[in-house]
Amino acid sequence: MKGAFYTGKYRNIFKEFGYSEKEIEKKIEDAYNTIFYGSDDERLYHQVGDDMSYFLDTGNNDVRTEGMSYAMMMCVQRNWKKEFDCLWKWAKKYMWMEEGENAGYFAWSVAPDGTKNSYGPAPDGEEYFAMALFFAWKRWGDGEGIFEYSKEARDILRECLHKGEDGKPGHPMWNPNNKLIKFVPGMEITDPSYHLPHFYELFALWADEEDREFWKEAAKASREYLKKACHPVTGLAPEYAHYDGTPYMKDNRQRYYSDSYRVAANIGLDYEWFGVDDWQCTCADNIQRFFCETVEGKIDMVYEIDGTIIDEKALHPVAIIATNAQASLAAKGKYRKKCVDLFWNTPLRTGNRRYYDNCLYLFALLALSGNYRIWK
């Protein structure tokens, strides 16, 4: 299959399965309105004055680079420039670090009042910031200062690859030898859900010219890496893993838990955008079969990646449903519709833990309706 990058055509899986365009659009609109402008018990988006805003992790009562960069991606996909700019201004003012060994990176956790909880970064934030900024450039054109989106994106990616060179302090976010993204810059392990080859293909077009070959190789490296990290039968990936794909065994990070769910969604979107790796279809089928057959009726648990059920409830059960559905962009098997229908009939999550679930929910809505797009 040739992906949407080559054809310009995005599949609407919901429509393929019989949902009308009118009800699809209403579902997307309602989700955006709830997450951005719902009641205090619903929304994640908070305006600060006229020109800034943040996106709250309601479970931890902090603002994370994960959530801020996700929200910017949501906004650029919806053509919400005002909200995008407000989020980006807050991120640059309160999260971006100007000094120390992580200068040029973003503090991964910040209090809603702008106080940094940590002076360390999380690489998934940087890669989403960069991708959202490039799409903003392509969709709206560059502005001035921090709103010169393409320059800001290139600056982030330059730090990600070259931090620590020439005797300067700090560490890069990608291992320069194996081209794999790290869990954090100072540790030589990775998080399978951070691997976004569909982003790296685009970084290879728009990053600094001298780094473009690296990004092309990183896309290939990450696709190959996921084949090692995902279990050959269940398709499940651990939260953290070594560069050879073996699970990282500390703090139960070897399990299929919160971070891990994103792998299914990422595989689906990479296949939709580029469609260059048929292994992704097999893996998506394996994941859907696991949840629809092997653990049917127990899809809200914690698992070892071999499928062993742990007697513990998942912290983010709606996220499991959303990402399993998004895998239908790559899946070819008999459970594609079942996973999509279950997602369609699952409402947005409520309560304190809604942040992570509803982020992945909205991304799945966009992806499955053909509205999670490459702007170029």
Residue ranges of domains in the chain, CATH in brackets:
1-43+224-245+254-376 (1.50.10.10)
Handedness of CA 182, 74, 326, 304 (dihedral sign): positive
pLDDT in tens, 263-301: 999 999 999 999 999 999 999 999 999 999 999 999 999
CA distance 347 to 306: 29
Q: Name the residue type at position 112.
A: P
At 110-141, the pLDDT tens digits run 999 999 999 999 999 999 999 999 999 999 99
Query: How far is 173 from 253, CA to CA, in rounded Å?
Result: 20
Number of residues in the chain: 376
| pLDDT in the model for residue 298 | 98
Please report how the helices 212-229 and 197-206 are oriented relative to each other, as an axis angle in degrees rounded to 10: 170
Active site residue 51: no
How far apart are the C-alpha atoms of 297 and 317, rounded to whole Å?
Answer: 13
> What is the CA 150 to chain-centroid distance, rounded?
20
Would you place residue 202 in the very low, low, confident or very high pLDDT band (cuts 50, 70, 90)? very high
Instruction: Give the type of residue at 161.
Output: L
Give me the numbers of helices (H) and strands (E) for the chain, helices first please: 14, 7
**Helix H or strand E segment including 159:** helix 149-162
166 as an active site residue: the answer is no
Q: Is the pLDDT of residue 219 over 90?
A: yes
**pLDDT for the residue numbered 328:** 98
Kindly tell me if the per-residue pLDDT of 103 is higher than 80: yes
Q: What amino acid is encoded at 99 in this protein? A: E
Mean pLDDT over all residues of the chain?
Answer: 98
DSSP state of 83: H
Burial class (CB in 10 A: 0-12, 13-18, 19+), 346: middle
User: Which tokens go with 251?
Assistant: 């703090």
Cβ-based burial of 40 (10 A; exposed 0-12, middle 13-18, buried ≥19): exposed
d(CA 354, CA 361): 10
- pLDDT at residue 81 tops 80: yes
The pLDDT value recorded for residue 299 is: 98
What is the CB neighbour count within 10 angstroms for residue 299?
Answer: 17
Which residue among 57, 62, 66, 127 is the active-site one?
Answer: 66
Would you state the pLDDT for residue 231? 98
Helices 197-206 + 262-273 axis angle, to 10 = 50
Say if residues 63 and 123 touch (Cβ distance below 8 Å).
no
Amino acid 122: pLDDT: 98
What are the pLDDT digits (tens) for 362-375? Answer: 999 999 999 999 99
Residue in this structure with the two tokens 């685009």, named with its chain if needed:
202
Residue 187: both structure tokens together: 């540790």
Of these residues, 85, 159, 191, 259, which one is catalytic?
Answer: 259
Decide if pLDDT at 1 tops 90: no
**Residue corresponding to tokens 């653990």:** 295
List beta partners, residue 116. 110
What is the average pLDDT across 222-230? 98
